[in-house]
């Protein structure tokens, strides 16, 4: 797969089709190989310079975005800016990150639709942003104990964010 994606929307559609199949019914060996290629290509598209090994560690592509996040369990954080989203978690830009292991209730606000997605998360990293070139201070949060409705809400949000990012 090329390092520069010539048709990001097409790659995105194929990746999401295989991503859904991967989550629902599984993939054949050839489909899995193709899914890995597409995941790597999109990962490099959004985070140039990351190696295949680093991209392969991730369960899904991290997509750059700018959405407001409210922390209902951490009063001193209030509202912050989410700078990337994956199916498994997000990165929040903040100068006052929580300690690793802290469980937090998140409310992700989508301004365009007025929608809000509420989930439980756990701080799994503190420091610089997900991109190796990014000097952004904040924290990585992994989603925890998602029920079916929360998983669907995150998956739908992820798909919309990625679609906007590739168009």
pLDDT class for 96, splitting at 50, 70, 90? confident
pLDDT at 54: 87
pLDDT (average), residues 100-112: 87
pLDDT at 100: 94
Portions of the chain given CATH number 2.40.10.220: 63-146
Give CA–CA dist 65/128, Å, rounded.
Answer: 16
pLDDT at 146: 94
Write out 107-164 in H/E/C secondary structure: EEEECCCCEEEEEEEEEEEEEECCCCCCCCEEEEEEEECCCHHHHHHHHHHHHHHHHH
In the chain, count H helices and then E strands: 4, 6
* Cross-strand partners of 82: 67, 92
Give CA–CA dist 41/82, Å, rounded.
Answer: 23
CATH 1.10.490.10 fits 63-146, yes or no: no
């Amino acid at each position: 797969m090329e390092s520069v994606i010539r048709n990001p929307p097409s790659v995105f559609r194929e990746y999401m089709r295989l991503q859904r199949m991967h989550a629902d019914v599984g993939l054949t060996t050839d489909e899995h190989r193709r899914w890995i290629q597409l995941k790597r290509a999109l990962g490099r598209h959004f985070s140039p310079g990351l190696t295949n090994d680093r991209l392969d560690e991730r369960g899904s592509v991290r997509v750059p975005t700018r959405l407001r996040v409210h922390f209902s369990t951490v009063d001193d954080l209030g509202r912050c800016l989410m700078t990337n989203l994956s199916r498994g978690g997000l990165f929040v830009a903040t100068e006052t990150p929580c300690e690793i292991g802290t469980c937090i209730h998140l409310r992700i606000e989508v301004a365009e639709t007025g929608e809000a997605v509420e989930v439980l998360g756990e701080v799994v990293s503190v420091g610089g942003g997900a991109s190796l070139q990014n000097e952004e201070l904040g924290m990585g949060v992994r989603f925890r104990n998602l029920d079916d409705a929360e998983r669907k809400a995150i998956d739908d949000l992820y798909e919309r964010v990625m679609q906007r990012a590739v168009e």
